[in-house]
Structure 1
Amino acid sequence: MIYTVTFNPALDYVVRVTDFRLGATNRCEREELYCGGKGINVSLVLHELGIQNAALGFIAGFTGAALKQELDARGITTDFILLPRGFSRINVKLKSGEETEINGRGPQIDPRSLEALYRKLDALRPGDTLVLAGSIPASLPADVYEQILRRLSGRELRFVVDAAGSLLERVLPYRPFLIKPNHHELGELAGTALSPDDGERIAQCARGLQRRGARNVLVSMAGFGALLVTETGEVLRQRAAQGALKNSVGAGDSMVAGFLAGYSEKGDYRYALRLGTAAGGATAFSDGLAVRSCIEEVLKTL
């Protein structure tokens, strides 16, 4: 079973304006409302690919209720903790030529609610996979990912961490099964600037994270595809999917979901990399998160 954790889920309000003008009244030509948050994105794409999973995390207020209602309607298994105060955030995504985002802050997570999440995670069983994705609210300790992996260490669980900076760095000693930095984030951890077309240096830096504990390092490189350094020592390259870019939100999360789905299906890292790349590309070519039919079409081209 795969479990995802989203500490700060959101409703993503997407507004499309033909010619946005700052300081003027703008009328949108189209608007959509999506469930947002990196872990939730992973859950949604896993569900599209037929992989059973459960979404954990925190919700609050009327927006949290709406978010859970939408996920329930889409068939996603959820086990959220309802916070006593505040409301789940609303993120505004303005699309008018370029993309502009205004992300809400979200509610405070009190120590009692955090402990309730820990108790849910204590119920995971050997062989389960736990996905921790995204940034964390300011109300939580900066080492909360590390606290979770330390608490669950030695339980024969697979840890997947999609985060940046110290959040990712602190979990490496707990031997996460998969981490997924992009080439910018990898360069920051390695203390150097990395060009997405320099696969050799990217592989070297990925091996550096393996020496610090990571088992498999999946690096997304925008238009240059993806690179995977496996725990068996292989360096696998996958060219990027080709298509018209419509959406940059959730592509990385879709890649994580596709990778996990592919590995769950065949236990093969090369296929997992292909399916992950197809899922990420299909989301980039869609208005929202990719549906299964689109992922399968993109996969045929890789």
Structure 2
Amino acid sequence: MIFTVTLNPALDYFMEYHELENGLVNRTKLTRMTPGGKGIMESRMLSSLDVPNTALGFIGGFTGKFIRESLEQQGIKTDFTQVFGQTRINVKIKTRSDETSLDAAGPDLTSEDVNNFLTKFDTLQEGDIVAFAGTVPKSLGENFYDLLIRLVKTRGAEFAIDIDGQKLLKTLLMKPLIIKPNVEELEEIFSVKFSKKDDIFPYGQKLLSMGAQNVIVSMAGDGALLFTKEKVYFAQPVKGIIKNSVGAGDSTVAGFLAEWSQSHDVLTAFKQGVACGTAKVFSEDMPSARFIQKCYEQIKIEEVSNGD
């Protein structure tokens, strides 16, 4: 079983405009609401691929109720921890030229909330995969992911993790199955700038040497790299019309885990991950399995040298 963990979920409220003018009344041409949060996006993509998964996290209030009901309508199993506070609302504003996200803070969590949540890990077993993604509410402290990872490893399960910067590096000693920084995140982590693809190779290898089992570096419209202990692979980009980039990275991780959990074939998992991320970018919301397959068939992967 794959479990996704979203510690700070959100109701994402999308608003589209032709143009946005500050200081004036702007009337939207389209609005929609979807369950949000990186782990929840992973669950939604896994569901699109018809891969069983369970969404974990903290939810509360009418926004939390909306998230739970929306996911269950999509056939996603949920085992959220109910809290007193209100799940946040994030506003996503899209114009013809820009995408802007206005993200709110999450609710305060009590020690009882935390203890109730930790019991969800008691049933983990060998072969399970837990995907951690996104921010941690301030009330949980800086080291909460470390605690959760130890619980996962104690049960003999695997974990994937998608968090920012130096916090990601701290988790590598625990040997995550997959991490997926994008180019900008990798530049920030190591305080460098990349001018070409080959510049990335030493840093992908460094992440492996620090403990990651597999590393995907996404390069937006320039494709993606997969670093394994044995080889490095490059997935050429697929051309298309960008409709909504929110959740593309989460979809890539979900696609990788979906295939890996069934075949343990890292190259096929990489291709599936890139297909899911690509299909997400080219869709307003979550892509269909048919469209994901169409993208999969267009992806070309080649083995590349380590910058030679």
Please indicate, yes or no, whether the TM-score normalized by the shorter chain is above 0.5.
yes
Q: TM-score, normalised by structure 2?
A: 0.93
| Corresponding residue pairs, total | 298
* 1:152 counterpart SS class: helix
Partner of 2:284: 287
AA of the residue aligned to 2:99: E
Alignment of 1:77-92 (within 5 A): 77-84=77-84, 86-92=85-91
Instruction: Return the match for 1:300 from 297, 300, 304.
Output: 297
Partner of 1:221: 219
- Following superposition, the deviation at residue 41 of structure 1 comes to 0.4
- Following superposition, the deviation at residue 78 of structure 1 comes to 0.2
AA of the residue aligned to 2:88: R
CA contact (8 A) 1:2 1:130 kept: yes
Measure the CA separation in 1 of the matches of 2:151 and 2:266. 28
1:121-162 Cα distance to aligned partner (Å, 9 max, x none):
122111100000011122221111112112332432111001
Deviates most, 201-210 or 215-224: 201-210
Alignment of 1:66-105 (within 5 A): 66-84=66-84, 86-97=85-96, 98-105=98-105
Measure the CA separation in 2 of the matches of 1:151 and 1:100. 36
- Following superposition, the deviation at residue 190 of structure 1 comes to 2.4
Measure the CA separation in 1 of the matches of 2:20 and 2:202. 43
Partner of 1:117: 117
Residue 178 (1) aligns with residue 178 (2): yes
CA contact (8 A) 2:130 2:152 kept: no
CA contact (8 A) 1:184 1:194 kept: no
Residue 159 (1) aligns with residue 154 (2): no
Measure the CA separation in 2 of the matches of 1:145 and 1:182. 20
Partner of 2:302: none
Measure the CA separation in 1 of the matches of 2:208 and 2:77. 33
Measure the CA separation in 2 of the matches of 1:146 and 1:177. 15
Deviates most, 52-61 or 94-103: 94-103
Measure the CA separation in 1 of the matches of 2:177 and 2:258. 14
Stretches of structure 2 lacking an aligned partner (at least 5 in a row): 300-308
CA contact (8 A) 2:152 2:159 kept: no
Measure the CA separation in 1 of the matches of 2:140 and 2:224. 32
Measure the CA separation in 2 of the matches of 1:46 and 1:125. 20
Deviates most, 106-115 or 32-41: 106-115
CA contact (8 A) 1:254 1:289 kept: no
Partner of 2:304: none
Stretches of structure 1 lacking an aligned partner (at least 5 in a row): none
Instruction: Return the match for 2:251 from 236, 249, 254.
Output: 254
Q: TM-score, normalised by structure 1?
A: 0.95
Deviates most, 104-113 or 219-228: 104-113
AA of the residue aligned to 2:31: E
* 2:81 counterpart SS class: strand
Alignment RMSD (CA, Å): 1.3
- Between the two proteins, what is the percent identity of the paired residues? 40
- Following superposition, the deviation at residue 234 of structure 1 comes to 1.1
Alignment of 1:241-280 (within 5 A): 241-280=238-277
CA contact (8 A) 2:275 2:296 kept: yes
* 2:161 counterpart SS class: strand
